[in-house]
Amino acid sequence: MALRQDPAPRGERALGVAAVALLAAATALAFGRVFAGRGPALRLVAAAVAAVLLAWVLERLPLWAAALGSAAGLAVAVGALVFPRTTFLWLPTAETLDAIRRALEVVATQARVQIAPTPPLSALFLAGLTAVWTAAFSAHALAVRARSPLLAALPSLALLGFADAVMADGARPGYALSFLAALLAVTFLDGLRRVRSWGPLAPWPGTRRRWLTATTTSGARRVAGVALGVAALAPGILPGFRAGPIVDLTAVAEVETIAIDPFVSIRDALTRDRPVELFRVRADRAAYWRMLGLDEFDGQSWRTDDLDLSDALPADPGEPIEARVSGVPVLEQEVEVLRDLATPWIPVAYPAIAIDPGSAFRYDPDLGTAAAPDALAAGTRYRAVSQPLAPSPEQLAVVDFGPPFRYGIYTELPPDTPPEIGRIAQAWAGDAASPFERILAIQRRLRSFRYDEDVPARADSFTLVDFLTETRRGFCQQFAGAMAVLVRALGYPARVAVGFTPGELDPETRTFTVTTDDAHAWVEVYFPGYGWLAFEPTPGRRNPVAERYLAPPAAPCPAGVPGCPGLQTDPGQAAVGTSAGLSPQLQAHEGLGGRAGVARRGSAVGRAATEVRPEGIPERAVLLSLAALALLLVAVPPARGLRRRLLLARVHEPRALVLAAYDVFASRAADLGLGRLPGETIEEHRRRLARAPEADGDLERLTRIVSAAAYAATPPGPEEALEARRAARGAIRGLRREVGLLRRVVGAYRPGW
């Protein structure tokens, strides 16, 4: 069995590339927070790892050829991750190149007006993906080709610095620590390669130890660990770490593109010096023009993960996107966009049942959101048909809710939510007779607060407690977020909706002109049988669609009872009061138990697409599983070493101690793939391992002592037993130096003792 004498074994090269890939992934993850949601960051991580792996495959080519190959890989990644609908089998086409050209034309404008974290608009995500891919390729070239691991960190540092500069929360220690750990791995592996190239080392003259001692390497690891910890924590205690910039470069001249950012704050739109006209809606009656639903509260803000509408379907013209309910009037809208909007979501009354031209938009029935492929441009026109539901208070007063777990994420609150929020919700709901009346009680309490735009734009849980108990003033985004949290605290499904109030009506043309002053946020509560219904907690605001059921409820009047106003349905159409026409996520909870067999478009449209969607694994369970796996991986090598030391400690008789020392040696050699073969004698094993020069001297002494202990008539003494243990340790160290790093790592987890 020949042992590799390559100064850079394949295993070590693979580990070096893995370390560079880890550095690229940590960079992409930290940079990805400039986009809202986890999806864009994960796609950037995948692209970064792919860029490093492709660079590894092209490693033996000249740099210019590898760069061309990487550029081709980037084109494939752009097509697959940014413009997937323009590709053929994930390969870019002429349509892909045209989409890239259009994105490059608007990327500068979008970058100027967007506020981080920004929606993953195709132009901005194209720029981010290109930057991450280039940084990953450069890191591999500098770390592997140029053998300069510290220079390999420069592209990554540029991306991290950009993310820290544009994000409101600045530097994040968690991202910095993961980046530094990856950089340390790259530097450490490069250091091992350099030390190998020096040949055997002698820490002091006249010693047989030809490598660094365990004490030396252990001390070096401790120093490196302390340095990493200091590097991660020290910036936070330096003066001015969280201070503002010396020169503020963020103030730019007003541009034509307008950004309504639901993830940071819409207050910027409300507090402009002069309102800017955004779009016009021609409709026969007023409504809230809804853009987006936010269904996740992380303790800091409301957001959604499906910003790019990855679960959406094309809003095909002529085909309903939601079931039509008989007996409920429709609202037809003709919309004209007046200014470039920096977001792709189209304003439309909720819920929309048809959009034209549908080929230009996608619709997510779970969020009730329609979006264009890119940011809406001035001059865009579309038509929409909506069917807002407005049940009577009597109908809603008899609605019965199921247990909170039936509604999935729509009733979830973070584990660290202050308990005061639950107590406030219960106190405000009081002794109301029905869930509807309890929700109304919370809305009435919030509407008694004071509307004020001159307040900090914060929405975290602890600021929320202060808002509810002390300040009692804020603007629409805070009122909506507060009510949604309180409703969830009562166990009812709720989310935040973002869009616009009706705007100014021109009675002659029946046209509503919507400006930045009309930007608004409100609450939607899910009522079984009716779907999502809007509630208005902001003082002074009035939702014309919700006026009917937001009036004080009278005595309960079940739908279908003679003399009770109710909604009737045509045969084959979705009935109000049943779950047939509900959004897929909630329809699943309305009797299907989970998300299996969810119909995307409902049975009434004649062409339902059924999609099986498995129940998601809780994020906490995934994190706990990963933590347990990491703990297991860390604990296995020390546990095996402890077991072997205990075996030697239990033996006191010299002959048994010699044989036990050899057993431990043979087991550790087997970990390296150099164990005894079946039927192989101790001497044959020694001759096979003698090809490892650094282990040969210690191995020869160990074999001689063990053979004498096994076959000689005179038993060995304590000195021979001690010498056998020393020889066994020296032989193992020699073997470990001869095999590759990858084999040593894998051997630490070999089955056996």
Query: Which among 576, 574, 575, 610 has a CA at the least distance from the CA of 595?
Result: 610
**Which residues are CB-contacts of 25 (< 8 A; sequence separation ≥ 6)?**
45, 48, 49, 182
In angstroms, the CA 363 to CA 384 distance is 12
Q: pLDDT-based confidence at 221, cuts 50/70/90?
A: low
Within 10 Å of residue 513's Cβ, how many Cβ atoms? 18
Q: Which two tokens stand for residue 243?
A: 């201070």
381-386 and 494-500 as β-strands: parallel, antiparallel, unpaired? unpaired
φ, ψ of residue 462 to 5 degrees: the values are -75, -35
How do residues 19-45 score in pLDDT, each as one tens digit?
888 988 999 988 888 887 777 888 899
- Residue 536 pLDDT more than 90? yes
Q: Where would I find the beta strands (DSSP E) of 147-276?
A: none
DSSP letter string, 603-664: GGGS---EE--PPPPPHHHHHHHHHHHHHHHHHHHHHHHHHHHHHHHT--SHHHHHHHHHHH
pLDDT of residue 39: 79
Structure tokens at 141: 């070239």
Tokens read off for 537? 């907690």
> What is the distance between the alpha carbons of residues 728 and 682, in angstroms, rounded to a whole number?
13
Which strands, in side-by-side order, build the sheet including 504-506? 352-356, 381-386, 331-337, 277-282, 511-515, 504-506
Q: Is the pLDDT of residue 588 over 50?
A: no
Confidence of residue 566 (pLDDT cuts 50, 70, 90): very low
Placement of tokens 């207050």 in the chain: 267
- Please tell me the predicted confidence (pLDDT) of residue 556: 42
Is 451 a residue whose pLDDT tops 70?
yes
pLDDT at 438 over 90: yes
7 or 276, which is more confident? Answer: 276
Phi (first) and psi of residue 26, to 5 degrees: -65, -40
Range in 221-225, 402-406, 545-549 with the lowest mean pLDDT:
221-225
Q: Tell me if residue 472 falls in helix, strand or coil.
A: coil
Which among 592, 537, 328 is positioned nearest to 583, based on CA atoms? Answer: 592
Least confident of 195-199, 254-258, 349-353: 254-258
CA 358, 359, 361, 362 torsion-angle sign: positive
CB 383 within 8 A of CB 355: yes
The identity of residue 539, as a single letter, is: P
DSSP secondary structure letters along 406-440: GGGGGG---TT--HHHHHHHHHHHTT-SSHHHHHH
**What pLDDT shows up at residue 196?**
64
For residue 115, name the pLDDT band (cuts at 50, 70, 90).
Answer: low
For residue range 310-356, what is the model confidence (pLDDT) as tens digits?
A: 555 555 544 555 666 777 889 999 999 998 887 788 899 998 888 88
E strand intervals along 455-539: 473-474, 494-500, 504-506, 511-515, 519-527, 531-535
Angle of helix 214-237 relative to helix 173-197, nearest 10 degrees, comes to 150
Q: How many CB atoms lie within 10 A of CB 378?
A: 15
pLDDT digits (tens, 9 = 90+) for 454-493: 777 666 777 888 889 888 888 888 899 999 999 999 999 9
Write out pLDDT tens, residues 633-676. Answer: 777 778 778 878 887 888 888 888 888 888 888 888 888 878 88
Output the six-digit token pair for 21.
């890939």
Does the pTM surpass 0.85? The reply is no
> Does position 68 have pLDDT exceeding 70, yes or no?
yes
Identify the band that residue 526 occupies on the pLDDT scale cut at 50, 70 and 90: very high
Task: Output DSSP code: residue 592.
Answer: I
Q: Report the alpha-carbon distance of residue 122 to residue 112 in Å, rounded.
A: 15
Give one DSSP letter per residue of 532-549, joined into a string: EEEE--STT---TTTHHH
Give Cβ neighbours of residue 328 (< 8 Å, ≥ 6 apart): 387, 388, 389, 567, 576
The b/e string for 530-548 (b: 16+ C-beta within 10 A; e otherwise) is bbbbbbbbbbebebebbee
Question: What are the pLDDT digits (tens) for 366-409?
Answer: 788 888 877 788 888 999 999 888 888 999 999 989 888 888 88
At 362, the amino acid letter reads R
CA–CA gap between residue 688 and residue 682 (Å, rounded): 10
Give 589's pLDDT tier (boundaries 50, 70, 90).
very low
What tokens does 697 get? 């001297």
Q: Which of 293-307, 485-499, 717-731 has the lowest mean pLDDT?
A: 293-307
DSSP letter string over 2-37? PPP--SS-HHHHHHHHHHHHHHHHHHHHHHGGGBSS
DSSP state of 358: G
Look at residue 513 in the predicted model and tell me its pLDDT: 94
Residue 114's nearest CA partner among 364, 293, 495, 375 is 375
Distance CA 295, CA 412 (A): 9
Instruction: Give the residue carrying structure tokens 């869009």.
Output: 499
Nearest by Cα to 146 from 222, 76, 59: 59
Average pLDDT score, the chain: 75
How far apart are alpha carbons 376 and 257 in whole angstroms? 10
**Residue 512 three-state SS:** strand
pLDDT confidence of residue 302: 85
